[in-house]
Amino acid sequence: METLEERVAYLEGKMEEHSLGFVSLRDSIGRLEHRVDALADRMDARFENVERRFEASDRKFELMDDKMSRHFLWLVGIQVTTLIVVVGALLSRG
C-alpha cells in the first residue's frame, strides 16, 4: 500500500499535468478566437462588396424602369392615335 506522501505526490503530479493542459487549452482557444475574428472581418468585407454590387444593379434597374416608362407612353400614344385615325376613317365612310 502506498504511503500518504506518495499519494499526495501522485496527485500533485496529476494537478501539474492538468494545469499544463489548461494553459494549452487556453492558448488554443485564443488562437481560435483570433481566426474567428479574422474570418468575421473577411465576411464583412465580402458582404460590403456584395451590397455595393446590389446597389449598382438597383441603379441600373431604376434607369431601365424610367426608360421603359417613356417607351410605354410612346407606345400607348401611337396606339391611341391609330385608334382615332381608324375610327375617323370609319365614320367618314358611313
Averaged over 61-87, what is the pLDDT? 93
- CA 92 → CA 51, 83, 84, 88, distances in Å? 61, 14, 12, 6
What pLDDT, on the 0 to 100 scale, is given for residue 16?
A: 86
pTM equals 0.51
Grid coordinates given for 22 = 489548461
pLDDT band at 12 (very low <50, low <70, confident <90, very high): confident
pLDDT band at 94 (very low <50, low <70, confident <90, very high): low
**Range in 20-24, 31-35, 45-49, 67-71 with the lowest mean pLDDT:** 20-24
